[in-house]
Structure 1
Amino acid sequence: MRAMSGDDVLKAVDGCLAALGPVAGRDWEGVRAAGLEWSCRETVEHIAGDLIAYAGQLAGRPQDSYVPFEIRLDDGTDNAGLLDVVRATGALLDAAVRATPPHVRAFHPYPFRSADRQGFAAMGVAEVVLHTHDVTRALGVEYTPEDGLAEAVLGWLFPHVQPGPAAWPTLLWATGRGELPGRAPVTEWRWRNNLVIPAERIDLVGLRPVVARDIRLGGDGGLDWIEGGPYEGTREAAGFLVKAYEGGVHRPEFGVFALVRKEDGRAVGGIGFHSAPDEDGRVEIGYDLVEGARGQGYITEAVRALADWALARDDVHALFATVERENTASQAVLGRAGFTRVSEEDGSGAELAYELRR
């Protein structure tokens, strides 16, 4: 699995410095960065500002806003000095990523108001490589980020974007910076950190496509599972998520979630949607638990949390689930979560259907 790390931030920064260092003696203030309203100088200052801001979020861990500070350069700082600031702020973000536990999240506004350490690392890399592109294009300098960085950014921040034949052109297209054969131009865009839905004892942690792919292939997705996990249902669901992503129809908020205990950060199961809601606002859910976590109420808690989140949306009017007739434990879970049996009573069919309406 290609996880995002502080090393990726440093690689991105090194590539930026290698491209811009040789032209630090040129006028950056009088040249507008390609596609932006900022000058090349302002764009590089923005890179440094974002790197230190992301480091501050991970260090301060605010949940509702940015840490209230800004970076300010000393009067008379030249372009070479500005690049030293980029190097320093990149190192600070690298250190913050390394020091932050995997389950910790801090505020970021889009789209679900939080990000984890890998999300902040990915955002830092994105800011560096994309804005380095903007500056080098304006200055007539050749630049391509190090192999693997664009692919990692797409996998961690653009789960809604169908992969293209090459990662760097796809990332440029996805951020309105280029064309991609067979796809319409992008005029508005946002990246997407993964969704986490809190419950009482567990968090429902949305799986990014790169994580889902690793789980489907027999890995752990970078999660600390209790013995026996992930269970077969979670692996199968992860495979469906990957197919949707590769087909360009994945909606991250209606994906698959790992159930992670708050007390120790260990994953105990999975839950998620089979697809996005249909035209009537109905959506099917499924779930499973590692055997060692059963009988402790985790799934009931997870189903309630997922149902509350989904039914609070305008595009969801009903949830339904199907359960094998002999699986009385799962039927009891749905009953405790407020679902009503809607299948016929004649005993036909191998499964029973349950529904929960708004």
Structure 2
Amino acid sequence: MTDTGGDQVEEAVASCTALLRAAAGHDWDGTRAGRLEWNCRRTAEHIAGDLIAYAGQLAGRATTAYVPFEITMDEGTDDAGVVDVIETTGALLAATLRTTPREVRAFHPYPFRSANREGFAAMGVAEVLLHTHDIAEGLGLPYEPPAGLCAWVLTRIFPHVRPEPDAPWSTLLWATGRGDLPGRDPLTEWRWNNNLVIGTERLTLQGVTPAAAADLHAGGTGGFAWIEGGPFEGTRFAAGMVVSSYEEGAHRAEWGMFVLVRREDGLAVGGIGFHGVPDAEGHAEVGYDLAESARGRGYATEALRALAETALARDDVKLLIAAVEQENAPSQRVVARAGFTRASEDVEKAARELHGLEASLRLYSREA
């Protein structure tokens, strides 16, 4: 899993410009673009504007706001000229994606205030596909982009949306309020989700998308450069849990899995995350592991402390739980240093009776 998103942007732009070039003789100015308030001409210009804006964010390494510029068409530019601009701005975004290092993040407001190159690529592809659909709908033209491209977008910036088997385009349209799916209520509000990143002194905890989780679970790298011996088996198992929750529609990015990446060299050293969203009482379970070559340096403690503090700062979280093997003294020291305390024997007994806690495990908790 090593793609930068450049190929996907080019594929999306090609599907867009093929339709728009064939439609250049239609009344773009006088035709509303599908369900949008814009006409088709304004929507086409917006596609070009998004592509160059995303390229600008990454190239300029913007961290606090959008780079303050926008694109305008020369006076007298016809519809075919607008298509040329879409093609050009798409090429610029693709080139930027291919030359931006993996660890670079730039500002985007939704929902965690930043995105990496893959996130900007997915947002760019989504803008192209969806607004091409809007124009096609307005002009009464058929349009359906490649299914693989739609699935690529969904597994990167729509982790909260349950995929519809064999219907990624219909799922993407439904997820953005543009279509219906059997058994699902129509959406009137929607927003995509880039991955969450939590920083510590030596690490960044990088949220794992369903796409990355699937690759990790299948034996790949998830798009990360790993330290020798990584990822550890626990990380691959946790990635499988992410895939399952995504397929069920139960995955939420902030309650998923994170890969621990060292700031000094960009190498991934382990994984950490939750076993699911908090329950009705505000309780959530955490787990973690490290590649063997990264152990004994305090990385797990540093990561667990940061993850716990982030979670417990929320109003809907009251208690975090960690289950540790009785014989695993190093892991017991990790949770203790991260502010967790041993649960009472009565609590452990109840956990065994009610939740099937294995006898070899000991419970630790940290309260808000």
* TM bracket (short chain): over 0.9
- DSSP 3-state at the match of 2:185: coil
Q: Match of 1:213?
A: 214
2:235 matched to which residue of 1? 234
- Counterparts in 2 of 1:36-75, with a 5 A limit? 36-75=36-75
Aligned to 2:247: 246
Contact 1:277–1:283 (8 Å) recurs in 2: yes
Distance 1:99 1:253 in 2: 29
**2:102–2:117 Cα contact (<8 Å) kept:** yes
Scaled by the length of structure 1, the TM-score of the pair is 0.97
Question: What is residue 179 of structure 1 aligned with on the other side?
Answer: 180
Counterpart AA for 1:53: A
Question: Could you tell me which residue of structure 2 aligns to residue 353 of structure 1?
Answer: 363
Q: What is the CA-CA distance between 1:4 and the residue it aligns to?
A: 5.5
The alignment status of 1:89 with 2:89, answered yes or no, reads yes
Instruction: State the shift of 1:213 in Å.
Output: 1.0
How far, CA to CA, are the matches of 1:185 and 1:174 in structure 2? 9
The Cα shift of 1:301 comes to 0.4
Q: Is the 8 A contact 2:348 2:362 kept in 1?
A: no
Shift of 1:342: 1.2
Distance, in Å, in 2 between the alignment partners of 1:206 and 1:286 is 14
Question: Which whole-Å CA distance do the structure 2 matches of 1:131 and 1:66 have between them?
Answer: 21
Which letter does structure 2 place at the counterpart of 1:81?
A: G
Cα separation, 1, equivalents of 2:95 and 2:123? 15
Structure 2 match to 1:135 = 135
RMSD over aligned CA atoms reads: 1.5
- Equivalent-residue separation in structure 2 for 1:345 and 1:292 (angstroms): 37
Q: Does 1:5 find its partner at 2:5?
A: yes
1:283 is paired with a residue whose SS is strand
Contact in 2 for aligned 1:271/1:287 (Cα 8 Å): yes
1:81-111: per-residue Cα shift (whole Å, max 9, x none)? 1111111110110011011001110000001
| Partner SS state of residue 287, structure 2 | strand
Alignment deviations for residues 13-57 of structure 1 (CA, whole Å, 9 cap, x no partner): 111111010221222111110010000000001100000000000
Q: Which runs of 4+ in 1 moved over 3 A?
A: 1-4, 345-349
Given residue 304 of structure 2, which amino acid in structure 1 is its aligned partner? Answer: V
User: Does the 8 Å CA contact 1:283/1:319 hold for their aligned counterparts?
Assistant: yes
Q: Is the 8 A contact 1:34 1:135 kept in 2?
A: yes
Q: What is aligned with 1:333?
A: 334
- Ranges in structure 1 where 5+ consecutive residues have no aligned partner: none
User: Partners in 2 of 1:202 and 1:215 — Cα distance?
Assistant: 20
In structure 2, the residue matched to 1:318 is 319
2:204 maps to 1:203: yes
Give the whole-Å Cα distance in 2 for the aligned partners of 1:332 and 1:17. Answer: 58
Q: Is the alpha carbon distance of 1:347 and 1:54 closer, same or farther for their aligned partners in structure 2, counting shifts above 3 Å?
A: closer
Q: Is the 8 A contact 2:150 2:172 kept in 1?
A: yes
What is the CA distance between 1:335 and its match in structure 2? Answer: 1.1
How many angstroms does 1:346 deviate by?
Answer: 12
Matched position secondary structure for 1:225: coil
| SS class of match (2:345) | coil
Tell me the SS of whatever aligns to 2:201. coil
Q: How many residues are paired up?
A: 358
Identity among equivalent pairs (%)? 62
| C-alpha separation in 2, matches of 1:154 and 1:2 | 18
Matching residue of 1:21: 21
For residues 146 and 346 of structure 1, what CA distance do their matches in structure 2 show?
52
Deviation at 1:247, TM superposition (A): 0.7
Partners of 2:12 and 2:149 within 8 A in 1: yes
Q: Is the 8 A contact 1:204 1:302 kept in 2?
A: yes
Structure 2 partner of 1:164? 164
Unaligned runs of 5+ in 2: 350-358
8 Å contact kept, 1:2–1:210: no
Residues 1:124 and 2:158 aligned together = no
What is the CA-CA distance between 1:237 and the residue it aligns to?
0.8
In structure 1, distance between residues paired with 2:36 and 2:289: 47
Deviations 1:213-252 (CA, angstroms, capped at 9, x unpaired): 1111111111111111111111111111111111111111
Give the Cα–Cα distance (whole angstroms) in 2 for the partners of residues 346 and 161 of structure 1. 35
Shift of residue 147 of structure 1? 3.8
